[in-house]
Amino acid sequence: MPMAPQLPYPISFLLLSLLLLLPFSVFPAYGSITPGSSLTANPDNSSWPSFSGDFAFGFREVRAGAYLLAIWFHKIPEKTIVWSANGAALAPQGSTVELTEDGRFLLSDPKGQPIWVPTFSGGPVAYAAMLDSGNFVLVSGSGSNSTTTLWQSFDEPTDTILPSQILNRDGRLVARYAETNYSNGRFELLLQKDGNLVLATTNLPVLDSVNAVYWSPETRCSGYQLIFNESTGYIYVISKDGKILSLVSSVAAPSSQFYQRAIVESDGVFRRYVYPKSAGEKPLAWSVLSLIPSDICLSITQSTGSGVCGFNSYCALGSDQRARCECPSGYAFFDPNDRTSGCKPDFVPQNCDEELRKTELFEFVDMANTDWPLNDYEYYQPVTEEWCRGVCLSDCFCAVAIFREGNCWKKRSPLSNGRIDPSVGGKALIKVRKH
Ligand SMILES: *[C@@H]1O[C@H](CO)[C@@H](O)[C@H](O)[C@H]1NC(C)=O
Ligand SMILES: *[C@@H]1O[C@H](CO)[C@@H](O)[C@H](O)[C@H]1NC(C)=O
Ligand SMILES: *[C@@H]1O[C@H](CO)[C@@H](O)[C@H](O)[C@H]1NC(C)=O
Ligand SMILES: *[C@@H]1O[C@H](CO)[C@@H](O)[C@H](O)[C@H]1NC(C)=O
């Protein structure tokens, strides 16, 4: 009876409903993907939807001719992606994802070279299924054998967690590099092996290990799992005996009324979003229910690494609570298409050669409420602003001086942890070449 799924919809459904009542059913669940099935990466975005149609698994064209194998919310126009297999190695057009007749599951390019293969032990895969929870599963077992889940996307999340999904110890959500770049980014939410939940920066671009923790709730090192509760929408850390240790998101929103997801975004903020399932008071769009930390620009001050933004740039929180990386005046982005790439002077910097210091060729641009903490190499107080300007101007090491209430700090390049915020106070004096 492996033909059942090809029968017309109502008949096959009835048939399967009956057959599923049999003990040791030989038939996979309705909507499952049977050996010999495949999808091809092409402009019609072919996919395998879940039974309800809420989610789909398949290809998404994320740039011309380059495809992401992904899972997304299928019923909403945004088709928001919640998981992806090959963010760092996009698949060319004509690539296929296939459950082979002999029960292997793989993504390969048009020449047949594997791009991504899920790792699991056991097999062969008897069927695959896109579940209504948003979990994509590979299942073994047929005949009189009971079925076993060999692999599931819920166990290997990318940047998003969905209701009913659990993050175990050593599990992590890694931000993507940028909104439309699905490579690993610079931030992650990690339930550490020691039982602490942390938001941390990673050591990209060289290594993606943890650099600095910028948020952690009190869990007394006994965190066991991070739970996204399906019925309440709460996100919390529990201990091994099931006690709630820390509520990470405590705004109620039942999954019966809302699509929801929580994601570590490319600006380092962990946001929980909801989208109404039917029209009502709320608009039919994603809205943020909770976010951590509330001001990312002020939350990261790391002794090594560049901070929220790249070196020599600064972080500005927009009215939408999103971090935006900017260059100080006189500086420009290393990569104009990548605002996190850092900034470089757009002028020939001051030379430390005695003959070439030419202090008369340099001046300062003032930026109120701006600072680059932790980069000072000299500090004076109490002094006047004029004195502070003079001492930085005549010092060829000094790229920026910070003046605040009679205090003067000299900053050397590269500048890190940059931020602009009314709570910073004072001003930054950026040394630039006169036009
Ligand atoms: C495929 O997806 C792209 C990007 O998400 C979209 O622009 C395009 O309209 C889709 N094509 C079809 C046939 O749905
Ligand atoms: C049932 O399981 C056993 C042991 O796991 C395996 O050797 C056998 O091939 C399986 N039978 C079928 C029909 O899949
Ligand atoms: C995404 O960003 C990474 C890191 O900068 C870069 O190496 C990669 O080429 C980018 N990917 C795409 C598809 O632009
Ligand atoms: C989700 O919350 C409900 C209501 O508080 C509770 O009964 C249930 O056990 C929770 N589920 C999980 C997986 O913790």
Q: Using one digit for the tens of pLDDT, what is the confidence trace for 373-404?
A: 988 999 999 999 999 999 999 999 999 999 99
Question: What are the b/e assignments for 203-218, b being 16+ CB within 10 Å?
Answer: ebeeebeebbebbebe
Predicted local confidence at residue 357, as pLDDT: 65
CA 369 to chain CA mean position, Å: 29
142 Cβ closer than 6 Å to some ligand 2 atom: yes
Contact 99, 123 (CB under 8 A): no
Measured from the Cα of 45, ligand 1's closest atom is 1
Phi first, then psi, for residue 418 (nearest 5°) are -60, 140
Contacts of 241 (CB under 8 A, 6+ apart): none
pLDDT tens per residue across span 39-84: 999 998 789 999 999 999 999 999 999 999 999 999 999 999 999 9
Between the CA of 350 and the centroid of ligand 2 the distance, in Å, is: 74
Task: Indicate the range of 64-78, 132-146, 176-190, 281-295 predicted with least confidence.
Answer: 132-146
Nearest CA to ligand 3 atom 3: 183
pLDDT at position 24 over 70: no
Between the CA of 57 and the centroid of ligand 3 the distance, in Å, is: 23
By the 10 Å C-beta count (0-12 exposed, 13-18 middle, 19+ buried), 423 is classed as: exposed
pLDDT tier, 7 (very low <50, low <70, confident <90, very high otherwise): very low
pLDDT at position 430 over 60: yes
Gap between the Cα atoms of 219 and 282, Å rounded: 34
pLDDT tier, 432 (very low <50, low <70, confident <90, very high otherwise): very high
By the 10 Å C-beta count (0-12 exposed, 13-18 middle, 19+ buried), 273 is classed as: buried
- Mean pLDDT computed over 94-120: 96
Predicted local confidence at residue 21, as pLDDT: 44
Measured from the Cα of 166, ligand 4's closest atom is 13
Gap between the Cα atoms of 113 and 211, Å rounded: 35
By the 10 Å C-beta count (0-12 exposed, 13-18 middle, 19+ buried), 384 is classed as: exposed
Strands (E), 136-196: 136-140, 148-152, 160-161, 166-168, 172-178, 181-191
pLDDT at position 9 over 80: no
Does the global pTM surpass 0.85?
Answer: yes
Measured from the Cα of 44, ligand 1's closest atom is 13
Contact 170, 176 (CB under 8 A): no
Element (H, E) at 226: strand 225-228
Of residues 41, 89, 38, 86, the one with CA closest to residue 61: 41
Predicted local confidence at residue 280, as pLDDT: 79
Contact 178, 186 (CB under 8 A): no
The pick from 177, 187, 266, 325 for probing ligand 3's pocket by mutation, whose C-beta has the most ligand atoms within 8 angstroms, reads 177
164 Cβ closer than 6 Å to some ligand 4 atom: no
203 Cβ closer than 6 Å to some ligand 4 atom: no
Q: Is the peptide bond before 114 cis (omega within 30 degrees of 0)?
A: no
45 Cβ closer than 6 Å to some ligand 1 atom: yes
pLDDT at position 4 over 50: no
232 Cβ closer than 6 Å to some ligand 4 atom: yes
200, β-bridge pairs:
188, 213
Between the CA of 277 and the centroid of ligand 1 the distance, in Å, is: 22
pLDDT tier, 23 (very low <50, low <70, confident <90, very high otherwise): very low
Between the CA of 229 and the centroid of ligand 4 the distance, in Å, is: 6
Contacts of 404 (CB under 8 A, 6+ apart): 425, 426, 427
Nearest CA to ligand 3 atom 11: 181
Phi first, then psi, for residue 141 (nearest 5°) are 100, 130
Predicted local confidence at residue 206, as pLDDT: 61
Predicted local confidence at residue 3, as pLDDT: 40
Between the CA of 158 and the centroid of ligand 4 the distance, in Å, is: 24
Query: Which conformational region is residue 426 in: left (phi greater than 0), alpha (psi within -120 to 50 degrees), or beta?
Result: left
pLDDT tens per residue across span 304-358: 889 999 999 999 998 888 999 999 999 999 999 999 999 999 998 888 886 666 8
Contact 334, 345 (CB under 8 A): no
What is the amino acid identity at position 23? P
Measured from the Cα of 79, ligand 1's closest atom is 5
pLDDT at position 16 over 80: no
Contact 4, 14 (CB under 8 A): no
pLDDT tier, 272 (very low <50, low <70, confident <90, very high otherwise): very high
Predicted local confidence at residue 11, as pLDDT: 45
Q: Give the number of whichever ligand sits closest to the CA of residue 206.
A: 3
Supply the mean pLDDT for the chain.
Answer: 89
Predicted local confidence at residue 379, as pLDDT: 96
pLDDT tens per residue across span 231-265: 999 999 999 999 999 999 999 998 889 999 999 99
Predicted local confidence at residue 6, as pLDDT: 43
Nearest CA to ligand 1 atom 3: 61
Predicted local confidence at residue 319, as pLDDT: 86
For ligand 3, residues with CB inside 6 Å are: 177, 181, 183
Predicted local confidence at residue 350, as pLDDT: 85
Contacts of 23 (CB under 8 A, 6+ apart): none
Nearest CA to ligand 2 atom 8: 145
Predicted local confidence at residue 347, as pLDDT: 92
Predicted local confidence at residue 15, as pLDDT: 44
61 Cβ closer than 6 Å to some ligand 1 atom: yes
Helices (H) and strands (E) in the chain, counts: 3, 35
Q: Give the number of whichever ligand sits closest to the CA of residue 58.
A: 1
What is the amino acid identity at position 325? C
Which has the higher per-residue pLDDT, 3 or 373? 373
